[in-house]
Chains A and B, each alone.
Chain A
């Protein structure tokens, strides 16, 4: 009994240590992000983006939009891409054997005709049925292929693209008109940059006109509001902070730019994972480190991509389970990085953090809850202490969210109404009572799916913008 109690106590202390380490890291990332953002805003202020337009020295870019059963959003999405301000770009839409009317919508809307374009296929993909050009938009091409998954579609798009930079965007997303100019800038200004990601924001309930988000409004459903707080936290300080430390492990599949030759050299996206975006970044890191190259994977907070998030519990649960599975697959596929000093901060800090906090986090969190209860039941710790510890945990959960809201307030201020700021703050607090725990449970289910080697994406609901 005595031994058991000792073990419980030690575990409790370990849990507390873990708890402070995690929150301490978040706080550190927040501070890093704050200074990085400040510098970024300043530089944005003194660098004239319109110059990119006037210069012949920009890099042309291929936008790849993989689409599977996206009949509700694909047209709007392509118009959003067509209206982007950028000197020279092509759009490659890859229809991954949709079973709905995605192809029909594309054909009707963009007057597609079979293309004679010749291209090489350095990356293996499923069979391509036909390639089309648009009569209305010379810069638009559509690949109609056999279903092979998102990664396979992206690889087909990479094969087909002809420009040195490749930008991947999701078919259910809209891109701000100046986002491309901003996200490509690091590729011109810094030769070390190999990949760049942009912020993803939530488009639910926003007013969209001309395929551009004109007015940012708060989503109506509570599930979306919780996700909004999460997104702000993840993008405004998480990714900014990690990128500053050169430890960014993920560039969102919804909006990222890469050098095409790197993608080909790395073998493109892996088709056997649902976390293909993260897996690719990890593999790129490995490849470049092995080549002993100095490189940067950068993140820019203001090139914005607007996406739709699940509005109902079931869809959200599916998404989170998939994300967790994808995270696990990506980390395990690149386990060579784990605590490997050869990868610097990436191997010693970023990867282990993602492994222990993001990947194993749900297990540790649930074990923590169980142990605390057990400790309480066995009468080792006082109820008061338990309550205080829980309160501290909740408050520490609220703190990064509030900091993100503050960062949003002093930077982009997308939510113009005072009411919005108050609602967001309330949801940042409420998130810790129920939503966070449910989310952890879904992630736990994701881990279970990983153990069962479950494959596939599941059904995804889409709404018109």
Chain B
């Protein structure tokens, strides 16, 4: 017994020691691995930058970058994600030339399973279609996770023929949720939409068995297909969607149909009443959402009824829909009644910051006996209630005291009124401001009365007997002390609230400016990269043409011109209806502007194009919704096809720009964090400016400047990175509630951020100008000295931005 136990102990001891040694071993391994990776990255980074700036050839770059390939891929991943257009293509060429793509192709064919899966992911990201057969093989792997990764890679490749196998695999062989499946399949891109629509149409015509194709009950695959179409807002299927809505009864399909229709925001001809009264609450709520989004005011009665639905979400969406239909008055009425919908109406109104009626406020069952103070419920004093003028003070002591008492009462009332008021987003023109004015007026009135009392006291002292004067003095002192606290409180409150009011105005305005300036900077900086990407995506011109002219804009204009011509024809057809015609005129006007701007060509035209297309998209959507639109106008089909074309043209153009939706800025109550994010984005664009300047420099001065320019531009990058670091630190501190920005806000003078914004704007403007000058100067004559001098100046400019940044931040940092 002892011997085996002894052996056992020795064995365990040995294992423990071995494990400890392993811990030390892994520590060393990771240390050296990380160090080597850092070293390699330090060598690879300048090589990559020089190559992207045409300072070294593809061959030279490929020789310097090499195995280990997994590390090389990790190193290149951030660039792959962020670089598009010409540089993106160059990057792809470089990956080919280094042997990276071949390495992963080899791995996907011959590697171990893990290597194959990793390679699948990489080749998917690289978009290399040579991997297609191998990815297909991986898709049929018995391991569901491997199959999922293969499906993911295939979706990146966007091959239409792979849609069915991918969906079949995801739905029938992996435990992926519906959200996961949709999230994956939409990556095939909007181009897949006609194919998806065709599948549904064939199923509806009984020429395709969805269950056989996808291996799951039809409602599952159909729901997924509808989600894909909804995600891409595919309008041409509208008739099919409506017929499905009329004929299909499966709740799941109906729910997804409603989601799709809501995304389209297109008028629906089908009677929605049965859905608003459906036994399934999800359908009732989705139908309510749809009615709200398409703003169809035929269902007001049903929606009002749904305010008292048994399900919270149905009540909520019915309320929202009524609000979106502009039925605010109706909601006000219901909210002040004792009806069943009152509670939800009050909630909806308060959410929107709408004023509630004084009676019938929401009372939660848990809140019995507690009168909640609703945001948006401004208890403005009724006429004559504490609002009237204080009686005119007579010169006698009694009269002054009476007036003082009345003044005090009024002031107290106003104070209570202001104290009760709870600011809510969107209340910019609140009566609250007026009450503040009144309070200030009342305070002055009391001050005047006190002065009058003091004067009276003095006059008594002079001529009307010491005893009375002493009495008046005591009264005066007493009154003064009594009112002092009150006035101080009022002053404090007025001050705080006035600042708050200023914030309301200023923050909103500042954010508009900031957002605007961000957009402008963004467009300017990314213009060159974006247009390359956009035009390439749309296949407007060949790479050869791109080399000669960065943005001729001609093919885009040609395409838009043809659309304009077609719209003009429609204009002729549709002019019978006056308001409809006006909308068409609006579209024509947009097109005219579009033509005017784009015919000028040049680098500035892309963002105008984007804006105009956005406007056009909105106009056309609004046009289609117009109530005067004939049920089946002769030009409808043509309009649909134009819309279809626009649907493929506009999204890629617009996708890079912030649009409304989740995460949009809340005006004017945006949090400081969000404001800082705007500034941060501004700074990020500065980093891109640095990149742009480098690219332009490299282009204009040719290949020969070598290390000098490289090191200078890298130091520019460092300066910008430092600024970014500083911003991040402050942002983190602010989140924690302890940094200088936070202190600013506490002191109510945080708005110094606007100074920073102005400084940044100025500096960036100057920087851009200098960069342009630099590029222009470098084009004609090659003067090494001049370039070096100009780069130094540019470096100084960027430092200037850093200093501007510090000017705003450092004083508070020191204070801290």
Contact = CB atoms under 8 A, between A and B. Distances in A.
Given A114-B374, A402-B19, A406-B22, A384 B347 contact: no
- Residue of B2, B23, B351, B423 with highest tally of chain A CB at under 10 A: B23
A425 B375 contact: no
A368 B23 CA distance: 33
A83 B735 contact: yes
B422 interface: yes
Contacts of A42: 114, 117
B5 interface: yes
B422 A118 contact: no
Interface stretch (A187-195, A311-319, A353-361, A436-444): A187-195
Nearest to B425: A138
B26 A116 contact: no
Contacts of A87: 662-663
B370 A409 contact: no
Chain B contact patch, size range: 35 or more
A24 to B, nearest CB: 13
Interface string B356-376: 000000101111001011110
Contacts of B373: 113-114
Interface in B12-39: 12-13, 15-16, 19-20, 22-24, 26-27, 30
A402 B375 CA distance: 57
Pairs of residues from A and B, 9 with the lowest C-beta to C-beta distance, nearest first:
A210-B732, A116-B350, A128-B366, A57-B183, A57-B179, A395-B12, A118-B347, A191-B177, A190-B175
Interface in B161-180: 175-180
30 contacts: A76-B736, A82-B673, A82-B735, A83-B732, A114-B373, A116-B347, A116-B372, A118-B364, A119-B364, A129-B370, A131-B364, A131-B372, A136-B672, A137-B671, A145-B366, A189-B180, A190-B175, A191-B176, A210-B733, A211-B736, A212-B732, A385-B2, A385-B5, A399-B16, A402-B16, A402-B20, A406-B23, A409-B23, A418-B24, A421-B23
B762 to A, nearest CB: 30
A348 interface: no
A133 B179 contact: no
Given A130-B372, A396-B12, A403 B19 contact: yes
Given A75-B737, A395-B9, A399-B16, A187 B177 contact: yes
Contact of A45 (B118, B175, B425): B118
B735 A388 contact: no
B231 interface: yes
Contacts of A389: 5
Given A75-B737, A192-B175, A46 B117 contact: yes
B16 to A, nearest CB: 5
A145 B669 CA distance: 28
B375 A115 contact: yes
A385 B3 CA distance: 10
Interface string A403-442: 1011001100100001001000100000000000000000
A84 to B, nearest CB: 11
A127 interface: yes
A187 B152 CA distance: 17
Interface string A77-107: 0010011000110000000000000000000
B353 to A, nearest CB: 11
Given A116-B347, A409-B23, 13 more contacts: A46-B118, A57-B179, A114-B375, A115-B372, A116-B362, A118-B364, A127-B366, A136-B671, A191-B175, A395-B12, A402-B16, A421-B24, A421-B27
B30 to A, nearest CB: 7
A118 B735 contact: no
Contacts of B375: 113-116, 133
B344 interface: yes
The residue among A391, A409, A418 with the most chain B CB atoms within 10 A of its own CB is A409
A268 to B, nearest CB: 16
A399 B178 CA distance: 43
Interface in B711-746: 731-733, 735-737
Contact of A385 (B1, B8, B312, B662): B1
Nearest to B4: A388
Main secondary structure of the interface of B (DSSP, over half): helix
A109 interface: yes
A371 to B, nearest CB: 17
A391 B15 CA distance: 15
Interface in A7-60: 42-43, 45-47, 51, 55-59
B367 A128 contact: yes
Interface in A117-144: 117-121, 125, 127-131, 133, 135-138
Interface of B: 1-2, 5-6, 8-9, 12-13, 15-16, 19-20, 22-24, 26-27, 30, 114, 117-118, 121, 145, 148-149, 152, 175-180, 182-183, 186, 231, 312, 343-344, 346-347, 350-351, 362, 364-367, 370, 372-375, 422-423, 425, 662-663, 666, 669, 671-673, 731-733, 735-737
Given A43-B145, A55-B183, A418-B27, A190 B176 contact: yes
Contacts of B737: 75, 79, 109
Contact of A395 (B16, B145, B366, B662): B16
B180 A188 contact: yes
Contacts of A46: 117-118, 121, 149
A83 B666 CA distance: 18
A121 B366 contact: yes
A388 B3 CA distance: 10
A461 interface: no
A38 to B, nearest CB: 10
Contacts of B12: 392, 395-396, 399
Nearest to B375: A113
Given A114-B422, A121-B365, A392-B12, A189 B735 contact: no
A209 B366 contact: no
A425 B24 CA distance: 11
Contacts of B19: 399, 402-403, 405-406
Contacts of A55: 183, 186
B385 to A, nearest CB: 23
Contacts, number: 167
Contacts of A109: 737
Interface centre among A130, A189, A391 (most CB of B within 10 A): A189
A196 to B, nearest CB: 13
Contacts of A191: 175-178
Contacts of B351: 116
B372 A57 contact: no
A118 B362 contact: yes
A264 interface: no
Nearest to B663: A87
A364 interface: no
B79 to A, nearest CB: 15
Nearest to A83: B735
A209 B662 contact: no
Contacts of B22: 406, 409
Nearest to A87: B662
A116 B372 CA distance: 8
A105 to B, nearest CB: 11
A349 interface: no
A398 interface: yes
B419 to A, nearest CB: 12
Contacts of A406: 19, 22-23, 26
Given A135-B423, A190-B175, A403-B19, A51 B735 contact: no
A131 B366 CA distance: 10
Contacts of A133: 375
A117 B362 CA distance: 9
Contact of B15 (A117, A119, A130, A399): A399
Nearest to B347: A118
A403 B27 CA distance: 15
Contacts of A384: 2
A116 B353 CA distance: 11
A128 B370 CA distance: 10
Contact of A128 (B8, B179, B362, B364): B364
